[in-house]
Amino acid sequence: MRITARLIVTLALTAGLVVGGATYIQLRTERGRLVEDLERRSAILAESIDTAVDPALFTRDRKKIQQFVGKFSNRGRLSGIAITDAKGDVLAATPVLQDEAATVIGLAAEALKSETPVVKFIKFKAGEQHAYTLALHSDEGVVTGSLIILQDTTHVHARLRDVWRNNFLRLLTQVFLIALVTLFVVRWDILAPVAQMAEWMRHQRAGDDSEPSPLPHTDLFGPMAKEVKTFARHLSVAKTAAEEEARLRQISESLWTPERLKDHVKMKLGGQPLVIVSNREPYMHRYKGREVEVIVPAGGVVTALDPLMRACGGTWIAHGAGDADWDFVDKRNRVRVPPEDPQYTLRRVALSAAEENGYYYGFSNEGLWPLCHIAHVRPDFRPEDWTQYLAANQKFADATLDEIEDQESPCVLVQDYHFAVLPRMIKERRPDARVALFWHIPWPNPESFGICPWQTELVSGMLGADLMGFHTQYHCNNFLETVDRTMECRIDRERFSVIKEGHLTAVKPFPISVHFPGPDRDKAGDPSVKVDKPALLKELRTKAEFLGVGVDRVDYTKGILERFRAVERFLDKHPKYRGRFTFVQLGAPSRTHIQRYNQFLAETDAEADRINWKFKASDWRPIVYLKKHHNHKEIEPYYRAADVCMVTSLSDGMNLVAKEFVAAREDDDGALVLSRFAGASRELADALIVNPYDIDQAAEAIRYALEMPAEERRTRMRRLRETVKENNIYRWAGNLITELTQIRPEPRPGVHSA
């Protein structure tokens, strides 16, 4: 209550100063008005007397003058009148002035000397009086005497006292109301929210399972409540991780958690920040009308690496592709992310339209992408695209070198096929940097890769890295075969490494994964909360008993057309599921600048329409095709409600959708149909593995997934979840960083080792 008392006293003093100042101004104004009124009244009276007095009276009859003056006795506020001759001698006066002869003579003398009336306040025995004195003149303008008029000022002082009293009472009322309002405001808007927040924190600290009171959301405490909630969540995560670590130590297991990875990275890197380079940024600012929205772009790289950077911190260098990106960066093109809870730095690299078209759309996605996926799409390699590819890689190299300028033996993780030549660019200027290049897409056989006109330059650039990572051993083998056929170097197949010009590059598989959610989630995002499948389907304007789901970028390597045809074949072979099974495809259109992607988008549209028309029904659609970017929060209800998830890639490095689906199924239910050509099929053996080109086999997998005995379905899902949980993204990062930090760094230019 001390703060309340201090607040009330402060407000009361402030109110007193304001009222006192206002009262002082009011008094001066009111006194001036009253005095002006006295002068006006005196002037009017003096004028009437001057007109009525016969100048001859001054020499003939003082008795008549006294009688004339006596008429003005006891008139309202008029205290007295006196008339003097031209010498200042009193001719007649009312009783009040008869006893003040000296004062009257003095006033008369001033008036006779002045051409204007003399106005002043005079202290008499009867009290203060307002004196108005002027000279009297004959018709010829000769001064014949003076007139003195006194008015009582008692009402002036009474009026001023009333002002003081009224304002003081008003001040007391204001102070009382201020105190009352302050008490209510402090009680309801400060003390109550603070108590509510304290109760919420006590509830969290105690680990009470009952429903806690909500945090306050007022303008005053809203931001603080948000930070408290974030802080509490972090503490909860840390507590859960510590408990899990303790439990695992008891059973001699070791689960990788964000906290363990953070400690591991800190120990391995000696406190230096981790630097990641990728084309796609994890958070993109873009305009939506007049507002700016932050989106997480679709793609496996972002899905995998954002949890890693949240855990470890550091800097992520990426292409700033959002139209509002550059409104949120500092002078070094940096911004802290995630926006709601910043945990690491995003550095954006600007590319011109020509660079983006040549480097990204051209060489990377019309050349390397179809080349590596062997997806029966002819790769296009154009010299101008290669030039832009080199220019863009150099821009990223400059940004990376700027970030690591002050670091000794920094660790840089370069991501994917967009930066095949970047490792050598970095190592040429910073040989002491430890650089890893992780290739997220497949690596083809040497014959296929030999199509690329710049295969030697690409492989040479990749061998600038200290560590070359792929998803599977098969891709590592293909890469070593390609190196062997492309350039002169020594390949150590026993240790899976390449030695070129004295530099060793280790080549190893690191199956990437996803974040596996723990018990730290809030109830709003808890996958164990049952999803209302009918309501979900109602939003899509269809009814069904069974739900299938696919989540992909709209890309010709993802097997979306084959998936649609498998659904069609399934309904043809098993008509009892017509009207009972709906397949929802969440597709994020991408690379629409490339003609083949636009064609493929049209093909998938047409195929979905054809199949829906074939099985046309009033309240049911076999395929619901949602073509827009979906964030993880929007996708998760489909994962949790689906009876079957289909991942039918024609060729894929890993495919994290399969692992995301498994991680979301905390109910140990649902079935996964997985392509044998996805890297994930090497780990997720309990999925229903299919050849996506075999439409009958994929259709039969849908049937088996829906009719699988419940116990088998749960057993399979539990084993899948255990695999993803143990081999999560933190284990991937921990293993990769362990391998990278075991590499002995070369001396930095200009620095000689002892």
Which residue's structure tokens are 């659609």? Answer: 621
Backbone angle region of 604, left / alpha / beta, with phi > 0 → left and psi within -120 to 50 → alpha: alpha
Amino acid of residue 687:
A
Cα(75)–Cα(504) distance, integer angstroms? 121
**Which SS3 state, helix, strand or coil, does residue 541 take?**
coil
Residue 248's pLDDT is what?
54
More confident residue, 232 or 616: 616
User: Is 408:433 a contact under the CB 8 Å cutoff?
Assistant: no
pLDDT digits (tens, 9 = 90+) for 434-466: 999 999 999 999 999 999 999 999 999 999 999
According to DSSP H, which parts of 153-221 are helical?
154-185, 192-206
User: Is 625:587 a contact under the CB 8 Å cutoff?
Assistant: yes
Which residue's structure tokens are 């009111």? Answer: 30
Domain 275-351+393-509, CATH 3.40.50.150 — does that match? no
pLDDT digits (tens, 9 = 90+) for 93-132: 777 676 676 777 787 787 777 777 888 788 776 677 888 8
pLDDT at 521 over 70: no
pLDDT digits (tens, 9 = 90+) for 384-434: 999 999 999 999 999 999 999 989 889 999 999 999 999 999 999 999 999
Which CATH architecture group holds 2-158? 2-Layer Sandwich (3.30)
pLDDT at 232 over 90: no
Residue 113's pLDDT is what?
77
pLDDT at 645 over 60: yes
Cα(125)–Cα(49) distance, integer angstroms? 26
More confident residue, 79 or 659: 659
Residue 602's pLDDT is what?
95
User: Is 134:82 a contact under the CB 8 Å cutoff?
Assistant: no
Query: What are the CA-CA distances from residue 379 to residues 192, 373, 486, 542 (Å)?
Result: 66, 10, 19, 40
Q: Classify 528-727 by CATH class.
A: alpha beta
Domain boundaries, the chain: 2-158, 225-267, 275-351+393-509, 528-727
pLDDT digits (tens, 9 = 90+) for 669-697: 999 999 999 999 999 999 999 999 999 99
Which residue's structure tokens are 């008490």? Answer: 183
pLDDT digits (tens, 9 = 90+) for 646-660: 999 999 999 999 999
pLDDT at 235 over 90: no
Residue 207's pLDDT is what?
58
**Confidence at 217, pLDDT banded by 50, 70, 90:** low
Residue 82's pLDDT is what?
81
Residue 250's pLDDT is what?
42
- Stretch (H or E) spanning 104: helix 101-113
Signed CA dihedral, 178, 180, 186, 189: sign only: negative
pLDDT at 363 over 90: yes
Claim: this prediction has a pTM higher than 0.85: no
Q: What percent of the chain has pLDDT over 70?
A: 87
Domains 275-351+393-509 and 528-727 share a fold: yes
User: Is 583:624 a contact under the CB 8 Å cutoff?
Assistant: yes
Query: What are the CA-CA distances from residue 136 to residues 38, 39, 55, 117, 118 (Å)?
Result: 20, 17, 9, 10, 13
pLDDT at 642 over 70: yes
Signed CA dihedral, 125, 126, 127, 132: sign only: negative
